[in-house]
A and B are shown apart, each in its own frame.
Chain A
Amino acid sequence: AQSVTQLDSHVSVSEGTPVLLRCNYSSSYSPSLFWYVQHPNKGLQLLLKYTSAATLVKGINGFEAEFKKSETSFHLTKPSAHMSDAAEYFCVVTPTLGNQFYFGTGTSLTVIP
């Protein structure tokens, strides 16, 4: 069975400081992994994806994530938070074979001025 655990439901950082949003997964061999962002009353927008190429993945808006198979983790980071980063973030996994997406419960990021 596939599952995704986002270890923090809420994260609060000061503007200009690093962001770390944690995600662990259980999945089949060689899953695809994604991070999405959702601003209030909007749909989900893809930040970045890992599909078995480089383990360090760069996304939009300065975000990146590292796939660590030994730790079954796919943590999202950004060196310097901006006010516009305040949103809900979802870690998502799909198994090697199959058409479904499995979502974490989300992490709400607050950026303090």
Chain B
Amino acid sequence: DVKVTQSSRYLVKRTGEKVFLECVQDMDHENMFWYRQDPGLGLRLIYFSYDVKMKEKGDIPEGYSVSREKKERFSLILESASTNQTSMYLCASSESFPHRGKNTEAFFGQGTRLTVV
């Protein structure tokens, strides 16, 4: 089974702190994603990466950065945490088959519930 592991289930940080959320997948997937989930807003894409050292902004990248130094690991960084970044953060990975034009499904981690106080 594919496993996507997020380093923390629950996290409490202070305003202004630099926060690292780590995500590791064990199936050699090319694509990795960071989403945040808020009530009534569904899942919103923050950043995604389709290869090592490659990254693309999603819908809400402001206040976040990412790092993908190794294929299996995708880190989300909150440079200076603010209370409006209190949310559930979900990491996902997927394989892609560009020669067939089809994606496989995304596999999700358990989520990190971040509270910024």
- Which of A's residues lie within 8 Å of B, judged by CB? 30, 32, 34, 36, 41-46, 49, 51-52, 90, 92, 94, 96-101, 103-106
Bound-complex Cα distance A49 to B4 (A): 19
In the bound complex, residues from chain B placing their C-beta under 8 Å from that of A103 are: 42-43
Instruction: Give chain B's interface residue range (CB within 8 Å of chain A).
Output: 20 to 34
Query: Which of B40, B43, B90 is most buried by chain A, counting CB atoms within 10 A of its CB?
Result: B43
Tell me how far the C-beta of A31 lies from the nearest C-beta in chain B, rounded to whole angstroms: 9
Known: A41-B113, A44-B90, A90-B42. A97 touches B98 (CB 8 A): yes
> How many A-B contacts at CB < 8 Å in the complex?
57
In the bound complex, residues from chain A placing their C-beta under 8 Å from that of B45 are: 100-101
Q: Which A residue's beta carbon lies closest to that of B33?
A: A101
Residue interface mask B88-116, A partner, CB < 8 A = 1: 00101010101001110111111101000
In the bound complex, residues from chain A placing their C-beta under 8 Å from that of B64 are: none
Bound-complex Cα distance A106 to B88 (A): 15
- CB <8 Å contact, B102 and A32: yes
- CB <8 Å contact, A100 and B98: no
- CB <8 Å contact, A104 and B110: no
- CB <8 Å contact, B98 and A106: no
Bound-complex Cα distance A23 to B107 (A): 21
Known: A99-B94, A100-B45, A101-B33. A44 touches B103 (CB 8 A): no
